[in-house]
Amino acid sequence: MDSVDALTAFVDAWAEMLHSSTTIGLCEIYTVDADTGEGTFIFGFDLAAAGAASFPAVELSMAILTMKLINGRLYRDTTMEGFTPVNTKLYPPFLAGTGVAIYSAYLSSADSIVYGRGNSYPFAAISLTAKTSDALRNREGLS
């Protein structure tokens, strides 16, 4: 799969975690040295994509999808201001057709461009935890 198709597949899956009024903007592309694991910036561009979910966005929220990597470590993927209500914890199997089900299925698929330390790929979802983001609260002057 070429890089444009790979990135498009990632964004299509991730967009399911975001409300349709959410704009997905800056995209940065890195290469990773196979021996050292060091990332090197290649280029950045405006992706100009949008969220795909019809559920209303939850302001100041943060959803953390935790997955197991093939090397036994954990991978945590954070989505800010998605649509998952705060103070929620979900466990697989996630409801089919929902954003978290679509995104976690993509992350553990052979087409996923996501990997953790030591070139270890996600293979199983553990949980989705949603809470109020302290960083967003601080930015809004609420703490």
Report the C-alpha gap between 57 and 2 in whole angstroms.
32
pLDDT of residue 1: 72
Number of domains in the chain: 1
**Token pair of 106 as six digits:** 């993509």
* Euclidean distance between CA atoms 52 and 38, whole angstroms: 33
User: How much is the pTM?
Assistant: 0.79
Q: What is the pLDDT of residues 55-111, one digit of tens each?
A: 877 887 889 999 999 999 999 998 887 888 888 999 999 999 889 999 999 999 988
**pLDDT of 143:** 61
Q: Which domain holds residue 73?
A: 3-139
pLDDT tens-place string over residues 18-56: 888 888 888 888 888 878 888 899 888 888 888 888 887
